[in-house]
Structure 1
């Protein structure tokens, strides 16, 4: 049984457990929020006007990273967001971000035509950026296994989770289907210590735990679309879920604040990155 921790969000995305709080990108307000277990919220960053904080992560030194359009932003000491990398030469906009243990920052995205396949790019610790995979069918959540060896990406339009081996230089190889999800449309994802993936599903209004190969292990049904999920809490066994009524891409900035942050307890704790 899930419980509402926070109500009145825009489109909450990119749930991350960090330093004892659940962080999220609040689409429609341009804010990055941190939420305590008591429901108290704090604005941690704000993106420039007319942009959306699509996804958030942290570099190994603890610097907040935000993807907004085709720019990877980093939070400076004064709290402002500056450009860490301009990715406009790779794709028009990027959607999700994850950082591996080596400090490689992976981002997926594509063009303004959402019907065309997208890409995965990597920004390496030296600041250089390049494409490392293509043909991604609307890339969404990404996760890296605890050993840093495997990247898993949610392909929403293909209804699957796809895995890659991560090379020493940050490159990706050995592409394979990690799980065929049938009618599941994965959005945000996270890993647990049992080797399973939790994925959020907007059209099916649920969060689902699956094993490699696609076996459904657990389902949490919601009354609105699930955009992101993350395991956290003191013991890593609280599933945080971001959900909202989805009104289409054209209305991402004009939300009626149906977004919620919900929680439920699960048996298997968090693992991997984010």
Structure 2
């Protein structure tokens, strides 16, 4: 599906989309002599988020424009039996547990303020009562839950995975794709595992629908935690406290045990043992 889409083209599209946003912003700054004017009265974090969303939408449009119409339909076509959606939802929560456990371990052994609610998405200049709160939450929802999952799945589980699979074995293609994906996120260990599972699912079902569905669900949970943090102190509640950490050693052990019980057998049975698995065929 993405065999003709080179990585060089992807990099060129990324730079082009960035320039199409940065150049007009720079012109506005030069004409007004005020760097805050590019944010149109928004806070700095809101303005940066808006520029990021514009860049991502432009990049997504450029990529989709290159894909043939028939491939666009296949790309988002669901080939997953309905009962399997329950498995995918459980798998998503299992991968979230891996991320939570790793971030909690980092908090226990370092002074880093790491948790599932990325502090970079929290705007300290606004509160839930401010007029700009709804706009920022709407912007964040579009960025996190809609645009980012589609764009990242097209880039990593689509273009990068397919291109690397042409020259390398699926195992190496999965490893490299997931490593790059993980290192570009603040929770790199959890996202490397997340990327591996999404790659395997993409190869299993031969569609981006499943990875996009899981990615959107994962980001929706993170968004709801960010939204809730403006109203509640999540650390004060037993269930949500593990999301902001640090959790106890017992909680971390339970999270890792439960997630390994879900992720391990799922990957082995659904990916490696299925007759139509591309990954399995490559080993024969």
Normalised-by-shorter TM-score class: under 0.3
Higher normalized helix content (fraction of residues): 2
Larger radius of gyration: 2
Q: Which has the higher contact order (CA 8 A, sep 6+)?
A: 2
Q: TM-score, normalised by structure 1?
A: 0.22
